[in-house]
Amino acid sequence: MTDFLYEFAEPNGVIKKGKLSAASEGDALSLLQSRNIWATKLKAVPVSQARRFSLKDGALFFRGLSNLLEAGIPLDRALSMVSVSDRHAGTVERIKTGVREGMALGAALDAVDVFPPMIIGLVRAGESTGLARAVSNAADQLEQDDELNSEIVSAMAYPAVLVAVGLTAVLVLVVGVLPRFVMLFDGIELPPATAALVSLSSFVQHSWPWLLVGAGLSGVFLGRWLNSSQGHAALLQFPVLGRLRLSFATARASAALGALLETGAPMLSSIETSSRAAGDREIASRLLRAAEKVRVGHRLAESLKSEGALTSQAIQLIAAGEESGRLPTLLSHASTLARSEGRRTLQTLIKLIEPSLIVGFGGVVGFVALALLQAVYGIRSGLL
């Protein structure tokens, strides 16, 4: 389905604009003619302009849709009644048009390409066993991910403020305060620490455009590397940060896998789909390698353990679920426990970061102050 913008003239000559979804330009014209609208201009909206749903907006959309479906309202009417923001109204209209043309909901969601593959997989897996439950599972997953992201952002807010304030203080000292003292030190032999600071201040003042460019390029390359498989694998090796990432990846993947299996989806496709929910490329690769072992006859818990794909606690629960036949339930429990462990690890990480930043920036400011005091006392000794 493609969005089309059109213009037409009313009998009184007023030009009106509108928007509709259709499979092709010819279908769009036919649809307009069936509404007695003769378009003077018709233009396809590029797919790239489609707005992706945020986690919060997606959760609200699927939660509202699941409530309507559970109330017995047909899917096409539910899509018309569900409440969404104006920026997503066109996307929902495209989904509704696809459903009315005979597409399954999962296929219609896939066609608009604004939802994560894992969410589409959840809906598709449940279409044959219970669409309302599948849509509710999708809402649950998005709500959990949104809650998790909010917790991470909130936890990192204070350290981010510390970094911003610390860097600002250092820049003000080096660029604003130190140059005012340079004239006082002219012709005087400075202590090594003060001479180094004066040289640094002069370098920053004369080279700041290049420093900004270098910092920007370094940030871009570092960001790309950190978002790569190699970067994710490296982050997992850090003592506290690695445990944090593994816990949250376990929480996401376990919740997705449990929800998929609960709808009756096949094990292998469920593992592959849930790997996309992990939020970590290295963990996703480990899950896919575990799926290959399951394909040749190995048990799920054994395969996950050999690849180190999830936390040991989650793997123990998965093994118990395989033995008892309650795998979806215990996967959900594993997700809850991993999320709790991730929260505790996050708090530990914050407790390590905050004093480190305070001591680090305090040390820099103290070093600058000490260097200036050494120079001032040097001048005073020379006068005496």
Alpha helices in the chain (DSSP H): 25-34, 55-70, 75-81, 86-100, 105-112, 117-126, 131-171, 178-182, 192-226, 229-235, 239-262, 267-275, 281-295, 300-307, 312-324, 327-383
Among the listed residues 343, 231, 350, the one whose alpha carbon sits nearest the alpha carbon of residue 283: 231
What are the structural domains of the chain? 2-49 (3.10.20), 55-115 (no CATH), 131-384 (1.20.81.30)
Alpha-carbon distance 375 to 137, whole Å?
A: 67
In tens, the pLDDT along 147-165 reads 888 888 888 888 888 888 8
Q: What are phi and psi of 222, to 5 degrees?
A: -65, -40
3-state secondary structure 178-196: HHHHHHHHCCCCCCHHHHH
Lowest mean pLDDT of 186-190, 220-224, 351-355, 371-375, name the range: 186-190
3-class SS at 113?
coil
**Is the Cβ–Cβ distance between 165 and 354 less than 8 Å?**
no
Please tell me the predicted confidence (pLDDT) of residue 206. 80
The predicted pLDDT at position 307 comes to: 93
In 3D space, the residue among 108, 91, 109 whose CA is nearest the CA of residue 49 turns out to be: 91
DSSP for residue 47: G
- Whole-number average pLDDT of the chain: 83
Average pLDDT over residues 48-52: 58
Q: Report the predicted TM-score, pTM, of the whole model to 2 decimal places.
A: 0.69
Average pLDDT over residues 49-71: 85
Distance separating alpha carbons of residues 334 and 311, to the nearest angstrom:
9
DSSP string spanning 305-331? HHHT-S-HHHHHHHHHHHHHT-HHHHH
Q: Is the dihedral of CA 343, 239, 142, 261 positive or negative?
A: negative
pLDDT of 96 > 50? The answer is yes
pLDDT tens per residue, range 245-296: 999 999 989 988 988 888 778 899 889 888 888 888 899 999 999 999 999 9
83: helix, strand or coil = coil
Evaluate whether 21 touches 3 at the Cβ level (below 8 Å): yes
CA distances from 27 to 17, 38, 91, 214, 376 (A): 18, 13, 18, 51, 82
State the Cα–Cα distance between residues 291 and 335, nearest whole angstrom: 19
Residue with tokens 């599948």: 134
On whether the CB atoms of residues 354 and 162 are closer than 8 A, the answer is yes
Rounded distance, CA 33 to CA 46, Å? 23
Q: pLDDT by residue (tens digit) across 288-327?
A: 999 999 999 999 999 999 999 999 999 999 999 999 989 9
